[in-house]
Structure 1
Amino acid sequence: MDHKAFRQLLKRYLDNSCTDDERNVIDQWYELLDNETIDLNDREMGEVESRLWNKLQSASKEKAIMVPLKRRAFPWKYAAAACLLGLVLTSGILWFRSNAKTPAAGGTLVAAKVTAGFMEQANTGTTPKDVQLEDGSTVTMYPGSKLAFPKHFAAAKREVYLEGEAFFKVSKNPNRPFFVYNNNIVTQVLGTSFDIRGKNGQVEVAVKTGRVAVYENKEQLKLNEVQQKSNGVIITPNQKVTYYQEERHFVTSIVDQPVPVPKETKKEEAHFVYNETPLYKVLNDLEDTYELEIVLENDKIRNCQFTGDLTGQNLFNKLEGICLIFNATYEIKGTKILLKTAKECP
């Protein structure tokens, strides 16, 4: 994201026209300032804006921004956003990029590939449509979607071009990675199942099984060498990434409804029935089942005993049951779950 996109996002935040995800991003950015006071003069506010921008850039290079699912109210942030936006607008600094205008979405790519001899499938109906590719991969195309693909994949890689939304179940072949080109991003996998959806200038990729790399299309956006090195994220089962096309940034999080991840070696189905079981073992079962990391804020209660039946409940209901026993709460921090508990066992 550049300064111009940063300013636009602040304005939407003030106008209350941003999405929930964008609002969460703003909240987290201000947390980078370590909750500093807003009672500042113009010069001090300018320094705060500079520090925020520098920390944001540094954080984006190190890892994907983690966005809490449960947003707390920070009224002072509206005042801070207003001050920062005013400074940005009156500073006289103009930021431009040569590729500010987003190239046409996947439709242009699909049309170009069909003209070049690729095959095309379109779902003009009202129900999902399955398409079988030559390598055994299956694409479930949602209504209104188009897909361009070669009759025979290349020896070194498999490439398809998507306009719209689809669910992919990719056959495994480590020697021939699978690429999906959609709008300005590329999704790369070795063998997995994942979902691609788009709306309101956003593209969302959610993983069901395997690992997926999602990054900007360097040819389409003409990325320089530095941009390519810090481009994209890797997500695993029950994780998703949202790409904001206008701002050109990625936000990782947990899918809305995590499901148990199928194992290659079939195990006995977990029943989640516990009788005076240490808490850490209960959490380990959840991590193994959903392949998500659960962080215990207070390690002193890891051996506290839990008794209960969590069978048949989704992940979040299981967590609510645990929280009820331990007088705890949980928060989604990016792709991790933070369990905030009492200081002692109940």
Structure 2
Amino acid sequence: MKEPIRIDLLEKYIKGDCTEAEIALVKQWYFSFEQENDHVSDLSPAEEKQLEENIYFSIISNLNLVNLPATEEQPKVRPLRKWYAAAAAAAVVFALSAVGVLYTQKAKDQHLVATTISDVHLFNVANNTGHIYKVTLPDSSAVWLSPSAKISYPNAFAANSRMVSISGECFFEVTKNPQRPFIISSRSIVTKVWGTSFLVRDNEQSNVADVSVLTGKVSVSAKGSAITTRLTKNEVMIYPHQKAVYLNDKHTLTAQAVEEKSTVKQYQRTRLVFDNKPLRDIIPVLDSSFNVNIKVASEKLNHYILNADFEGFNLPDVLDALKKSLNVDYAIVNNHIELK
């Protein structure tokens, strides 16, 4: 490995405070890894992307930086293989332990991966089930992951911000803390939280990314510029019953009204009371309340009897209650929910 560069110089460079001579020194150090053995040549593109996210979040968490300046003085983005080698060298400078991906136990209903740099642990949760999976973040915020959705977050947020990264469809109920803005990075957009509950959908398979607000307010911007905790002129602010829609092919970001049958209604908290009702009478109420289409895998389930008061429940809460009280499982198949 090359001789490490001074920590204070790298910090100045990241903050954009370097002189011309110092910038040249950093670039010389950076490009010295051109021929360095990268140790990641065997990684798949997906693994490369994940490792890059892990390194990024870990370094940001250790430096306690959020506002990263976008300047022309920064080297062009390099392929991960060479960038990884440089980041590994930087890790030595910051007296951090070696960067690596540590695979933990694979449970039936979740897959967790932890990346460790010093005292910062990056957790990656992927919902590989047909259920909606709930994750509680370090600040007590809650996130519901739809099937195939993923989230990455540190075990402890930075002092001046709370940053997470997602893929797929995730609904957030964020704990308010004006001094520590909550920022969500996904494939093509950045979402900043100025309120409480909202739905984010952004994945590799879709040309469209959108954010729908249930309560409070959020701002959305196209990815690519510097991430800052402040509201900028390029962001779209949206409120309840509104959504921000970003088209990847046209690079356009607009605010629109939320459709009546939007998925976000599934997370609206309500009160439903069932007094010894059979499941066949309960399903139409759930369909109407949450704008969903629930089916049963067998006719006998229709005769199950439920006595319950669902105070302040959203749809995932109700489905979990059905699982526990009636021993009824469920799976999200295409655009409907199947009880079995």
Q: TM-score range by the shorter chain?
A: 0.3 to 0.5
Greater helix share, 1 or 2? 1
Higher relative contact order by CA 8 Å / sep ≥ 6: 1 or 2? 1
Higher strand share: 2
